Amino acid sequence: MAKVLCVLYDDPTSGYPTSYPRNDIPTISKYPDGQTLPTPNNIDFTPGHLLGSVTGGLGLRKFLEDLGHEFVVTSDKDGPDSEFERHLHDAEIVISQPFWPAYLTAERIAKAPKLKMALTAGIGSDHVDLQAAMERNITVTEITYCNSNSVAEHVVMQMLSLVRNYIPSYQQVVAGGWNIADCVSRSYDIEGMHVGTVAAGRIGLRVLKLLKPFDVHLHYFDRHRLSESVEKEFNLTWHPTVEDMIKVCDVVTINCPLHPETEHLFNDAMIAKMKKGAYIVNTARGKICDRDAIARALESGQLSGYAGDVWFPQPAPQDHPWRTMPWHGMTPHISGTSLSAQTRYAAGVREVLECWFEGRPIRNEYLIIKDGNLAGVGAHSYSKGNATGGSEEAEKFKK
């Protein structure tokens, strides 16, 4: 029987919920492009419950233990003395979320001779050294599309929060103030602005669709150009390079995967090419932006605001400059782990595990690496190499 090692974020500080604000969540049968939602044979959880924390366990415990497998769930993931490393040596499957990632570096993979699959409960497998996984013939999977719309909603929320100067205005109320001039001196309408996305895949295209009613000018860069009909439907302007797009945009949203080609894409040189006073919203991966370059641009006024929910490493150390830089709207990595999204990615993890243990093929859209090569969505979205360098800094985070 297999050992399944699962890393999830901690339970709420007030304890695991015994009740929820809403009694249910909307039922969705398929994603916008027609892809069906996860189709496991069964689930052992209630949709809309907290599944992504340790006690929730992605709703997998009964399923795995009834099959005789060992199921270890922990939030202690960083450093050589972590619970994760203590169990890694004989784990066959490692499950991790992007929001609280267990970084599977080449060094850790070398310590895991029995490891056969790294499964991302969510989207984005950059916390795995993909090059090392290919060389070791480890299957890498993720639950594609499970939280794409969740992230897109977060992007639009943060975009409007920056442009309308929402957070400082909210803080005025909390502090007992009413100085309207302080609030509106950095507040604008998004109507008429030029908004561009770096990548127009499932998340990026959804952002563009959500923004269309705001009467903004929509731009995108993607190495896979959209069809003429989609461009016409949403009145999109395609740009052949990121540099070409950002020169004309008031707001830039980053929605591409992290891999060696996109690591530190937004550095000092790239930001200098943007319109002065532009905004960046990054819910893709923190390492796509040079963290010190972002802080410098906010301090100088080259950027008017920066928001997102992705950091590097995760959790971010207490001294991470994004915690204290001016005009930011950062949150912890939460965009893709709403209770609605958790229902979908927990079901997707169950589907992948059912296929794995029953010897059935895993959906092509869930595959990142198979048989030593990029496969499925991985071949479309990633490049060979490794983007986990520096992840050991996550050990600096103190609860």
Under 8 Å between Cβ of 101 and 315: no
pTM: 0.94
CATH match for 3-146+337-376+383-396 among 3.90.1640.10, 1.10.10.10, 3.40.50.2300, 3.40.50.720 = 3.40.50.720
Fold match, 3-146+337-376+383-396 / 148-330: yes
Nearest to 141 by CA among 368, 362, 336: 368
> If pLDDT is split at 50, 70 and 90, which confidence band does 383 have?
confident
Q: Is the pLDDT of residue 399 over 60?
A: no
Tens of pLDDT, residue by residue over 74-129, are 999 999 999 999 999 999 999 999 999 999 999 999 999 999 999 999 999 999 99
The question of whether 314 is a catalytic residue gets the answer yes
The question of whether 285 is a catalytic residue gets the answer yes
Q: What is the pLDDT of residue 60?
A: 98
Tens of pLDDT, residue by residue over 8-58, are 999 999 999 999 999 999 998 889 889 999 999 999 999 999 999 999 999
Q: What is the pLDDT of residue 394?
A: 82
> If pLDDT is split at 50, 70 and 90, which confidence band does 390 have?
confident
Which of the residues 127, 194, 219, 285 is marked catalytic?
285
Q: What is the pLDDT of residue 396?
A: 81
Which of the residues 149, 314, 320, 344 is marked catalytic?
314
In whole angstroms, give the CA distance from residue 211 to residue 156.
7
Q: Is the pLDDT of residue 398 over 70?
A: no
In whole angstroms, give the CA distance from residue 169 to residue 183.
5
Q: Read off the amino acid at residue 125.
A: S
| Mean pLDDT value of segment 208-230 | 97
The question of whether 333 is a catalytic residue gets the answer yes
| Mean pLDDT value of segment 131-158 | 97
> If pLDDT is split at 50, 70 and 90, which confidence band does 389 have?
confident
Domain range 148-330, CATH class: alpha beta
The residue ranges of every structural domain in the chain are 3-146+337-376+383-396, 148-330
Which of the residues 333, 344, 350, 363 is marked catalytic?
333
The question of whether 41 is a catalytic residue gets the answer no
